[in-house]
Structure 1
Amino acid sequence: MEQSKGGNKTFVEASGHDPLQGGPEVRELETRFAQYCGVKHAVACASGADALTLALVSRGVGPRDAIFTTPFHGTTAVSAIRLLGATPIFVDIDPATFNLDPEQLAQAIDALIKKDASIYPLPTEAAGGRLELKGIISPDLFGLPADYDAINATAGEHGLFVIEDASEAFGAQYKGRYAGSLSDMAFVSFLDGTLPETGGLCLTDQEHLAEWMRLPKETGMPHATVGRVNHMAAPQALSILTRFDALPEEIRLRRELARLYTKYLDDNPLLVTPYVPRNVLPVWSRYSLLTESDEERSVMLKKLERAGFTTGIYYDRPLYLHDDFADLQYREGDFPVSDDYASRIFSIPLHPGLTAQEQERILDLLNDWE
């Protein structure tokens, strides 16, 4: 970094560190986020994909390893699994929560152990007996933590690690514990949640894993097993920390609006409102509804979009049907809940910037079904 004109010191000279190499801002972020989630260690990365990849490598994931995850999600988890030469094993979602179904997880593990796809759908490679049990990646979809008591118990029975994807649920609680602290490890992609900034984070109580993950970040050297690790830069950390201060109020307003939506949409016979289990406190990164059919969804979306409201569909095609993962050779219909919900789900606007008039208008449009 060159010295500026007039003899003024550069940022590096004045602060004693290069902003692109982290520094005290990143360490502050790691400390505050670890304390917030109730874990001992946090390791910041440039993105959520970097954070997950680093977490997987820290657990020794590589070729012939089977990693269980859901097909009803974005591509980050599956892409990271395949980057390391491992194989994703899909498990369908719980029809009530949209999250990984613990009962079907147990069935999928049993099928892989017995190499019997008649018990539960498996990719061709798994049925051929060439894969070994390794771990689970469990997303907390739409801001609602998964059932970690059940998932962790099943994982423990078979010696599997669990990585929680807390990206969409940062600030949520499960039985009094915060998302990010609910399994062996967790990762966060800030871009996907209530803190829409670039950057990622690994969270764990295990000191040896944190030390290993910090090594390339502190030295600026790549891990031989993962290549160049992209660490978080100081400007990223500062931007996230600024948003972090406002997070409690952001979450409060989201919960307030979600309660309003549910109150006035619960009696609509054409819609299914989100289910929240007891002892779970979501953050509502998205408010997703189910319609009776794809056709009815199209009607709802058009009404909202004509009125100027932005909507979304998460997700309209389960991952196992994507062309990029066709080599796994799953068959259409293998994951019926994901298939069904992909044709009926949609998300409506939910953020603190919505005025009372806009909220009322959204509800009126959705309830105008007669």
Structure 2
Amino acid sequence: MQFIDLVAQQARLREGIDQAITRVLDHGRYIMGPEVAELEAALGEFCGAAHVVSCASGTDALMMALMVHGVGPGDAVFVPTFTFASTAEAVALLGATPVFVDVDAQTFNLDVAKLAQAIASVPNGLRPVGVIPVDLFGLPADYTSIDEVVAPLGMWVIADAAQSFGAARNGASVGSMASMTTTSFFPAKPLGCYGDGGAIIATDPAHVEILKSIRVHGSGTEKYDNVRIGINGRLDTIQAAILLQKLSVFGDEIQARQAVADRYADGLAAAVVVPTTPVGARSTWAQYTIQVDDRAGVIAALQADGVPTAVYYPRPLHQQTAYQGFPIGDGGVEVSETLATSVLSLPMHPYLEPTDQDQVIEAVRRAVSR
């Protein structure tokens, strides 16, 4: 049993992927070839967005979006502490200050009440300029409530949808809930390429033009007249070609992930704490994460039964060496610290057979009832 089975997906798509790569090799435009623009249009059509700018990674997507806002020293950007490092990393790399905020114990998303507390008590000398909620494990954050907190203060929101492209909440698709939404095509993501890749979905055409400039070293209309500081952030043509093939089955794969999540919930809700999806929300189920006591013991028991697991994340960002010097918002981060000791992710992918799902369910039940 695979935790994430990229081999099964490749077998389904291999002929089309081989042909797509061959077309790139034949035309030889490895940087910004025609497949890049084709992918951007297809991604926009999939999520109902007018503007998508591809880039080299999900981290670059965050950096580029922050650079559009001119983020720098003295700026405070509020981020969840229970997430992957990229969200805070991009802020810190630009000289700004990430301020860590707790998450909700049921959804794993940013706790809006604690966000309001953190903004109201920002450390002296820092300007509260923006928020980067993370759609953790594929579930969109509560952007409506977040906007109610930050919009009156003139703060912006960048949605970190690295794990949630294809999800929705209250009829709004990921990509439409913030002025800029970033995503990642890392291979293990629900929509992933065979290397690194990312994209920014933007609602403001002016932002789109700046993003396109930033990703090519801040280029202007003339090749050797760079008009701003930028990065080398382009998506490789071959990765765009691969993503086009994967996008063709992505809708089906989201449905398959939901079926796995439903089966897990039915079989496990009486034994462990299963993830919560609010009414009106649709997750992409990048991970299926339960909460257990004695996690080490459960992991060992599952391993003995042939069930792979992973822990996302064993340590919140504020406890990691590089980020210990950054402020924690008022309201504390106790939920994140507790989750870091109890979360456990189970096998989740669109090609997980029902027999394997049942094996996981039975193994978890046995493990927690020892």
Q: Distance in 2 between matches of 1:231 and 1:244?
A: 19
Matched with 2:29 is 18
Matched with 1:158 is 153
- The Cα shift of 1:88 comes to 0.3
RMSD over aligned Cα, in angstroms?
2.2
Matched with 2:347 is 349
Structure 2 matches for 1:154-303, cutoff 5 A? 154-191=149-186, 193-197=189-193, 198-217=196-215, 219=219, 226-268=229-271, 271-291=272-292, 293=293, 296-303=294-301
Percent of paired sites with the same residue: 34
Cα-to-partner distance string for 1:133-170 (whole Å, 9 max, x where unaligned)? 11110110111111111011211011111000111111
Matched with 1:121 is none
Residue segments in structure 1 that go unaligned for 5+ positions in a row = 1-10, 113-125
Q: Distance in 2 between matches of 1:307 and 1:12?
A: 44
Higher relative contact order (CA 8 A, sep 6+): 2
Q: Which moved more, 1:251-260 or 1:305-314?
A: 305-314
SS in 2 for 1:288: strand
Structure 2 matches for 1:312-323, cutoff 5 A? 312-323=310-321
SS in 1 for 2:325: helix
Instruction: Summarize the Cα distance change of 1:347–1:57 in structure 2 as closer, same or farther, 3 Å threshold.
Output: same
Matched with 2:12 is none
- The Cα shift of 1:221 comes to 6.7
Instruction: Summarize the Cα distance change of 1:12–1:200 in structure 2 as closer, same or farther, 3 Å threshold.
Output: closer
SS in 1 for 2:267: helix
TM-score normalised by L of structure 2: 0.86
SS in 2 for 1:60: coil
Instruction: State the one-letter code of the partner of 2:239.
Output: Q
SS in 2 for 1:215: helix
Q: Distance in 1 between matches of 2:263 and 2:149?
A: 36
Cα-to-partner distance string for 1:77-99 (whole Å, 9 max, x where unaligned)? 11110110000011100122100
2:307 to 295, 306, 309: 309
Residue segments in structure 2 that go unaligned for 5+ positions in a row = 1-22
Q: Distance in 2 between matches of 1:276 and 1:171?
A: 15
Q: How many residues align?
A: 338
- The Cα shift of 1:217 comes to 4.4
2:357 corresponds to 1:359: yes
Indicate conservation of the 8 Å contact 2:79/2:101, yes or no.
yes
- The Cα shift of 1:357 comes to 2.1
TM-score normalised by L of structure 1: 0.86
Indicate conservation of the 8 Å contact 1:216/1:223, yes or no.
no
Instruction: State the one-letter code of the partner of 2:156.
Output: F
- The Cα shift of 1:51 comes to 1.1
Q: Distance in 2 between matches of 1:43 and 1:329?
A: 32
Q: Distance in 2 between matches of 1:349 and 1:13?
A: 35
Instruction: Summarize the Cα distance change of 1:221–1:93 in structure 2 as closer, same or farther, 3 Å threshold.
Output: farther
